[in-house]
């Protein structure tokens, strides 16, 4: 059964594939249609920022420029992401990470222990028992 809608002149119009096709060919074909510009999704903008500018299609580069012009925070983020993507920066960061005497191993060990305790204590008494268990390890 076709959906029914009001028709110009007070009649009833049945919306079927043939009626829609006839309406389009009679009234819309050959005439320029105004396209409603849609804002890009957050996922699309993220992809454009993370893609190397040389590998990004020209239409996406233009859309990204439009988005960045309207949001200075995203413009600063893009500059930061692109500066990190240069090869020298990554090599410097890795070299510094491997050559410095500091590391976060102790902190990560405590975080791992706390997460293990939380998993063991799930559904039990509450924070007081967790606190006693945590203090007993110290």
Q: Do residues 95 and 117 both lie within one domain?
A: no
Q: Do residues 94 and 114 both lie within one domain?
A: no
Check the CA dihedral 64-67-70-75 and report its sign: negative
Q: What is the pLDDT of residue 122?
A: 75
Q: Do residues 2 and 29 both lie within one domain?
A: yes
Report the number of distinct structural domains present in the chain.
3
Q: Do residues 52 and 93 both lie within one domain?
A: yes
Q: Do residues 52 and 68 both lie within one domain?
A: yes
Cβ–Cβ < 8 Å for 90, 96: no
What is the helix (H) or strand (E) element at residue 62, kind and residue range? helix 58-70
Q: What is the pLDDT of residue 45?
A: 92
* Residue range 58-116, pLDDT digits in tens: 999 999 999 999 888 999 999 888 887 776 667 777 788 788 888 888 889 999 988 88
The answer, yes or no, to whether residue 47 has pLDDT greater than 90, is yes
Cα–Cα dist 40/47, whole Å: 11
Q: What is the pLDDT of residue 89?
A: 63
Cα–Cα dist 19/43, whole Å: 37
The answer, yes or no, to whether residue 132 has pLDDT greater than 50, is yes
pTM above 0.75, yes or no: no
Task: For residue 136, name the pLDDT band (cuts at 50, 70, 90).
Answer: low
Backbone angles phi, psi at 125, to 5 degrees: -55, -55
Q: Which residue has the higher pLDDT, 18 or 114?
A: 114
Q: Do residues 95 and 46 both lie within one domain?
A: yes
Q: Which residues span the domain enclosing 121?
A: 105-137
How many residues are recorded in the chain?
138
């Amino acid at each position: 059964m076709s959906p029914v809608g009001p028709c110009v002149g007070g009649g009833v119009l049945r919306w079927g594939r043939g009626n829609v096709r006839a309406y389009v060919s009679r009234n819309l074909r050959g005439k320029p249609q105004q396209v409603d510009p849609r804002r890009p999704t957050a996922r699309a903008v993220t992809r454009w920022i993370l893609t190397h500018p040389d590998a990004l299609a020209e239409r996406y580069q233009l859309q990204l420029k439009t988005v960045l012009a309207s949001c200075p925070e995203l413009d600063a983020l893009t500059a930061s992401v692109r500066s990190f993507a240069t090869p020298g920066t990554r090599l410097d960061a890795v070299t510094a990470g491997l050559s410095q005497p500091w590391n976060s191993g102790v902190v990560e060990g405590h975080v791992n222990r706390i997460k293990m305790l939380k998993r063991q204590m799930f559904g039990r008494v509450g924070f007081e028992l967790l606190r006693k268990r945590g203090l007993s390890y110290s």
